[in-house]
Amino acid sequence: MITHNRVSACAPGRVELLGNHTDYNEGVVLGAAINRVICVSGVKKDRFIRITSADFGEVEIRSAKLRPLQGRRWANYILGVADELRNLHVPVGGFTADVSGDLPIGVGLSSSAAFELATALFLLKLFPARLEPLQIAKACQRAEHRYVGVQSGLLDQVISLFGRADHAVFFDCRSEEIRCVPFPADLALIIAESGKRRELAMGEYNLRRKETHAAARALGVRALRDVSSSDLDRCNDLSALLRRRASHVISENERVWRAVTLLEAGDGIGFGKLMNESHESSRQNFENSTPELDLLVSIAQDLPGVLGARLTGAGFGGATVTLCERPRAQQIAAELSRRYADATGIAPRIFVSRIADGAR
């Protein structure tokens, strides 16, 4: 065993404020890093990689034989990142990695991207090398594609890495422009878990990706980014299904552009309306909501002091985000929890979230 100083790195989850399923369609997204994290810590180790997690157990493999595991797939996030860093000539050898944190897993808050980024920053400290931040984000995305099997866009990694306290992060997935937009100080975000877990690799996410790309081909464009709502209205030869999928992505892009202007003007009411519109489009056009998510959103929208609510992340279960007046946030969260539990028998995990700095 090689003994070395212990190093660690942490990366936050993210909440998607607007821009649902726009990232892999070369669109625009607005999100924020939250004050819940995943941390990875450890030391160098001779010839072996040993990964431990209080939630998932322990995995050990030879560092010379990196490959995706069929069982204990949770370890593939770390193994995939290690492999991608090696491909970028980072001299990753054997190591131990202890995984911990307070970020809920599998509910649409990007625990996977936080796990990947915490791993990448940890390994770059353990096996020092210089990479640009966007290079790191893309290496983590490739790890998710190759080792986990989810063809995710880059949004989650970018927001977790580039997040800034009290700012939303605007990301243009085509130009790769990243910009921080001040978030109104008198507003707060409430994140509510529906109690219905998601499993993105199971197919619905990858299916939506195929459907939106098919819609772009049918419309004769490189990506749905290149189509406006009025263009779509004039097109008559799309199937009803592909029209709904395209309508969601196109209108989401338009909402993000409008939202940046509203945030810069401090217009929380206008921003909240866009969140409500986004959820309705998810429900009707993209069909990535669930009865539980719809219930959380409708309860929230009824509560005094709430400006808007929507599902966050890929959908198909997971969590919602509610925009509200900061002084009422704790009271709104408690009432949302009570009403949802009364209606479903599920006690949801609900918390008022701070907008936090990115991975460190």
Positions marked active-site: 156
> Taking a C-beta distance cutoff of 8 angstroms, is the pair 23, 29 a contact?
yes
Beta strands in the chain (DSSP E): 7-18, 28-42, 48-53, 57-62, 95-101, 167-172, 178-182, 187-193, 306-312, 319-325, 350-353
Gap between the Cα atoms of 302 and 314, Å rounded: 24
In what helix (H) or strand (E) does residue 86 lie, and over which residues does it extend?
helix 76-87
Token pair recorded at residue 71: 């069982």
Gap between the Cα atoms of 52 and 266, Å rounded: 44
Residue among 232, 228, 255, 231 nearest 243 (CA): 232
Gap between the Cα atoms of 250 and 3, Å rounded: 53
> Which residues does 150 contact at the CB level (< 8 Å), separation at least 6?
112, 144, 200, 201, 205, 206
> Taking a C-beta distance cutoff of 8 angstroms, is the pair 117, 136 a contact?
yes
CA angle in degrees (0–180, nearest 5) for 165-167-170: 130
> Alpha carbon 280 to chain centroid distance?
20
Pairing state of beta strands 95-101 and 28-42? antiparallel
Beta strands in 102-241 (DSSP E): 167-172, 178-182, 187-193
Q: What is the CA radius of gyration of the chain?
A: 20
Gap between the Cα atoms of 20 and 36, Å rounded: 21
CA torsion angle 76 194 173 112 (round to 10): -20
